[in-house]
């Protein structure tokens, strides 16, 4: 797989991840705890893809490195929040497990760049 093919695959994958997260968040209860974590998870999940796209457009190696570090940080924040929701018993555990798996894969893929 070429770098361009990998980048295209990851752009699509991170977009799909954010869409899945936002759809999942719509199913959560509307209490204060769920709202706070939902907002944070929505921001970090959409940030993963946005910053990956910025990485792809980076003008220098330093700029790309900085962006990919943000991608990994945001993906890890998603993992933290999905783990928090599971521990708090907020939301469907099977869906959270799927989102956690995808988040873990995103982190692994970025670390190997």
Question: Domain-by-domain residue ranges, the chain?
Answer: 3-111
Res 1 pLDDT > 90: no
Q: Angle at CA 73, nearest 5°, toward 41 and 30?
A: 10
Say how many CA atoms lie within 13 Å of 52 toward its Cβ: 28
According to CATH, the superfamily of the domain at 3-111 is: 23S rRNA-intervening sequence (1.20.1440.60)
* CB count in 10 Å sphere of residue 57: 10
Q: Angle at CA 45, nearest 5°, toward 112 and 39?
A: 150
For the whole model, what pTM was predicted?
A: 0.87
Pick from 99, 74, 113: nearest CA to 21: 99
Under the banding of pLDDT at 50, 70 and 90, the label for residue 105 is confident
pLDDT for res 94: 93
Q: What are the residues whose beta carbons fall under 8 Å from the beta carbon of 47, sequence distance 6 or more? A: 70, 74
Query: Quick one: 15 exposed, middle or buried, by C-beta within 10 A (0-12, 13-18, 19+)?
Result: middle
**Helices of type H across the chain:** 3-25, 32-56, 61-88, 93-111
CB 48 within 8 A of CB 75: yes
List pLDDT tens digits, range 7-54. 999 999 999 999 999 999 999 999 999 999 999 999 999 999 999 999
């Amino acid at each position: 797989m070429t770098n361009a093919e990998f980048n295209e695959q990851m752009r699509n994958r991170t977009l799909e991840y954010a869409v899945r997260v936002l759809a999942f968040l719509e199913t959560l209860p509307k209490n204060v705890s769920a709202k706070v974590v939902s907002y944070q998870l929505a921001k970090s999940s959409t940030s993963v893809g946005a910053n990956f796209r910025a990485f792809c457009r980076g003008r220098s190696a330093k700029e790309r490195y900085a962006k990919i570090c943000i991608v990994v940080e945001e993906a890890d924040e998603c993992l933290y929040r999905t783990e928090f929701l599971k521990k708090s018993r907020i939301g469907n555990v099977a869906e959270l497990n799927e989102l956690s798996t995808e988040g873990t894969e995103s982190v692994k893929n970025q670390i190997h760049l």
